[in-house]
Amino acid sequence: MSGNFLPTLFLRAWDGYSYFLRVYRYRCEQLGAKGCSDNKIKIWFRLFWRVCIQKKKILFCPEAPKPLFVIYKILLFLGYRVTVDPSHTVHMGMKWLNAFDGSPFLPEVPIFQKMNQGPSKIPIVNMYCPDVSKRQVSAAFEKVFGYSVSIDPRVYQGKCVMKSNWNGLHVGQVLDCPLVEKEEGFVYENLLNNEVANGLVEDIRVPIFKGTIPFIYLKYRPVDERLVDRAHVNKKVIIAEVNERLSPGEVEKVGSFTRELGLDYGEIDILRHKDDGKIYIVDVNPNPAGPPEPITPDDSKAAIVRLAQAFEAAFMHSPIPSD
């Protein structure tokens, strides 16, 4: 055993140092700290305490997030380790499914049910959010807001949107109602008028952390591509403050909606219908990638910093300095 002790100790020390340098470089990049500035020195000492002394770790089940996801970037900026091994000592847990197949269902995680009991229980993000399908989102929205985006295409008069009940597939089309019958696996919604100038539509993308919204993204694409939320059709993505698009009452209801759905962390797609002035929640993503393209590099960096601060304040109860 003594023969393996020193090599093992060296490997652990090297792993810790390598991770510290990776976090340090990423944090300096996001904060725009360059050269031999005092700011870089402050970042170094703060990260040494966080990464090498506190050593906070988050358990993800059943999968660890991939680098394209926002939470991966948030935790890298904060210097939190990620593990999928429940035997590790962790500070919180997070239900996570990379879900490239568009599945809206987060699986049951027995280890989280056990960890969420007793005096030593730890917070589990999205523990009670098993279903973010379009149908479930619509039901929760109607319960909280008192009006609905869903329609029955067999009796509705006018244009509607038919789209997949699953997430992120961008399978949908605009149809003229009434229809003879509904297709299985699809939902039918009112065609919302969110058109702005120059033939573009505006989507409001809302990051949310336990009911707190740090900022919003405004996404613009051509009206004839309104159902295709992809980087290659988006013309512009900018960061805006919450009060630029949502009233205090609407923000409060969005928070109530997330509690109804059981969503602790994720991103929400909201459209404002110009015909009645109301907002409509049309999609929820508990595992968002991003920041969304084509956002500018400076806005992307600013977004990660603000998202990390919001995450820390919501789940770790210790707001981080802005450096």
CA 78 vs CA 37, 49, 56, 92, 321: distances in Å: 20, 11, 9, 14, 11
pLDDT value, residue 201:
94
pLDDT value, residue 134:
93
- Whether 162 and 187 have beta carbons less than 8 Å apart is answered as yes
CA 297 vs CA 73, 74, 104, 294: distances in Å: 14, 16, 30, 9
DSSP 167-204: SS---EEEEEE--S-PPTTEEEEE----B-GGGEEEEE
pLDDT mean for each 10 residues of the chain (323 residues): 51 69 91 77 85 88 94 95 91 87 82 75 90 95 96 93 82 88 91 92 96 97 82 88 97 97 96 96 94 95 96 78 51
Judged by DSSP in three states, 304 sits in: helix
pLDDT value, residue 209:
97
Query: How buried is 40 (Cβ within 10 angstroms: 0-12 exposed, 13-18 middle, 19+ buried)?
Result: middle
pLDDT value, residue 323:
55
Task: Report domain extents, the chain.
Answer: 1-55, 134-310
pTM over 0.75: yes
Look at the block and give the residue holding tokens 């909201």.
Answer: 270
CA 96 vs CA 63, 76, 84, 148, 248: distances in Å: 6, 17, 10, 29, 31
pLDDT value, residue 172:
78
pLDDT value, residue 132:
94
pLDDT value, residue 106:
83
CATH architecture for segment(s) 134-310: 2-Layer Sandwich (3.30)
CA 189 vs CA 162, 211, 254: distances in Å: 7, 25, 19
